[in-house]
């Protein structure tokens, strides 16, 4: 490098404009109150946004994330236009927000049936946002939409499960804030259904060739499974009785209170049936080969409780047939009457049996 060569260094120095800085300082000293007001307004605006926008969204999101489970439903005091319902439920949250939720009226409807039409409205009590809340409700309910309530009972009866939604508007009170914020409580729960009463059995049955004073010629005990979490006060129910597609009489089951469980619901039953079709079936295959076990079909006819007809149960029971196998052959064997394949033919028992079969049934 020659001696004439030089290194050029560029350096930038920040130099404050003292006169300008003085003006800013003087301005701040003179108008400090303006800046204070602006700061206060910004803070107030931010707080308002948090309180009136952020808090409601947080409260709603926490409510949406909560889990509702229905542990049991008891329907009692069933009348033509009203009933009593008790619901035991549990609400679970993460417990991170301390708040109280006002009581509200919740509409209950079938989630998978459009349009969403409430079949019942329940008044839920005030709750908190604790991690675990047990909510028990009991009230008398007028039936405001008979079609919707009948449809609910029909779905509950005929399905393995069904989805029920509870929806209502209420207010949440967040700890430390006096204002109440509107929120919507909407939860859908999956409930086990009655599965069409599959598994219904009849035991200790007895058939009589001569009807009693009430016209009954068949008696026994029926066990009705209840796979749901609902207890029903049904009352006295009658059923159309079919054999091989032909209606042959009426079956009666009285004083029914159906509780959850498979083998806990045992009721006495009685029936008046036409014996001719039964005796004919007993002589045909496969019934003459299986010990005389015959499949009867039952379909709902009437439901009456405390003298009042319950159409919402009767119409639901009428939507499907329930097959029940009865050991009629064994019942007749107890009467020393055995029907071989091909029928009785000219046996000595034929005339007495035919005479009994021709006896007319009286109405209940």
| Per-residue pLDDT reduced to its tens digit, 83-121 | 999 999 998 887 776 778 899 999 999 999 999 999 999
118, 95 in Cβ contact below 8 A? no
Q: Residue 206: what are its φ and ψ, rounded to 5°?
A: -150, 130
Residue ranges of alpha helices (H) inside the chain are: 18-30, 32-49, 55-65, 146-158, 275-282, 311-317, 328-333, 349-357
**Which whole number is the average pLDDT over 334-344?**
80
pLDDT at 53 > cutoff 50:
no
Burial label for 160, CB within 10 Å (0-12, 13-18, 19+), is: exposed
Closest by Cα among 306, 299, 318 to 257? 306
Kindly report which listed range (40-44, 60-64, 201-205, 276-280) carries the lowest average pLDDT score: 40-44
pLDDT at 165 > cutoff 60:
yes
How many other β-carbons are positioned within 10 Å of the β-carbon of residue 192? Answer: 16
Give the model confidence (pLDDT) of 228-268 as tens digits: 999 999 999 999 999 999 999 999 999 999 999 998 999 99
As beta bridge partners, residue 49 has none
Do strands 67-76 and 322-327 pair parallel, antiparallel, or not at all (unpaired)?
unpaired
pTM of structure: 0.78
Domain 65-193 fold is Immunoglobulin-like (2.60.40)
Q: How many CA atoms lie within 13 A of 221 on its CB side?
A: 8
Distance CA 233, CA 306 (A): 11
Mean pLDDT for the chain overall: 82
Give the model confidence (pLDDT) of 271-300 as tens digits: 999 989 998 999 999 998 888 899 999 999
Do strands 161-174 and 180-192 pair parallel, antiparallel, or not at all (unpaired)?
antiparallel
Residue 282 three-state SS: helix
The per-residue DSSP string of 197-230 comes to: GTT-EEEEEEE-SS--TTS--EEEEEE--B-SSE
For residue 36, what are the CA distances in angstroms to 32, 33, 266?
A: 6, 5, 80
Structure token pair of residue 305: 């409780």
pLDDT at 12 > cutoff 90:
no
- pLDDT at position 51 is 42
DSSP label at 154? H
**Dihedral of CA 101/107/109/115: which sign?**
negative
Distance CA 314, CA 103 (A): 34
């Amino acid at each position: 490098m020659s001696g004439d060569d030089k290194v050029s260094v560029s350096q930038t120095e920040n130099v404050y404009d003292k006169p300008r800085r003085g003006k800013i300082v003087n301005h701040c000293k003179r108008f400090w109150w303006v800046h204070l007001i602006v700061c206060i307004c910004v803070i107030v605006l931010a707080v308002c946004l948090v309180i009136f926008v952020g808090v409601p969204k947080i409260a709603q999101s926490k409510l949406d994330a909560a889990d509702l489970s229905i542990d049991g439903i008891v329907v009692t005091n069933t009348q033509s236009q009203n009933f009593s319902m008790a619901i035991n439920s549990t609400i679970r949250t993460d417990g991170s927000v301390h708040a109280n939720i006002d009581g509200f009226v919740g509409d209950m409807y079938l989630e998978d049936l459009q349009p969403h039409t409430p079949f019942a409205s329940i008044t839920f009590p005030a709750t908190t946002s604790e991690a675990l809340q047990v909510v028990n409700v009991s009230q008398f309910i007028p039936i405001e939409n008979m079609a919707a309530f009948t449809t609910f009972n029909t779905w509950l009866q005929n399905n393995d499960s069904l989805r029920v939604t509870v929806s209502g508007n209420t207010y949440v009170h967040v700890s430390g804030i006096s204002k109440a914020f509107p929120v919507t409580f909407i939860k859908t729960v999956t409930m086990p259904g009655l599965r069409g009463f599959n598994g219904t059995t009849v035991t200790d049955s007895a058939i009589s060739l001569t009807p009693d004073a009430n016209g009954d010629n068949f008696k026994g005990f029926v066990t009705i499974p209840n796979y749901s979490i609902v207890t029903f006060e049904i009352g006295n129910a009658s059923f159309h009785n079919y054999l091989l597609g032909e209606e042959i009489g009426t079956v009666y089951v009285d004083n029914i209170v159906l509780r959850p469980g498979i083998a806990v619901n045992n009721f006495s039953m009685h029936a008046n049936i036409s014996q001719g079709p039964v005796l004919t079936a007993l002589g045909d295959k496969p019934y003459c080969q299986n010990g005389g076990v015959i499949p009867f079909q039952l379909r709902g006819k009437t439901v009456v409780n405390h003298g009042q007809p319950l159409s919402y149960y009767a119409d639901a029971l009428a939507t499907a047939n329930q097959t029940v196998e009865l050991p009629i052959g064994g019942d007749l064997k107890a009467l020393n009457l055995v029907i071989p394949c091909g029928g009785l033919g000219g046996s000595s028992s034929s005339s007495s049996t035919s005479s009994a079969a021709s006896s007319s049934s009286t109405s209940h």
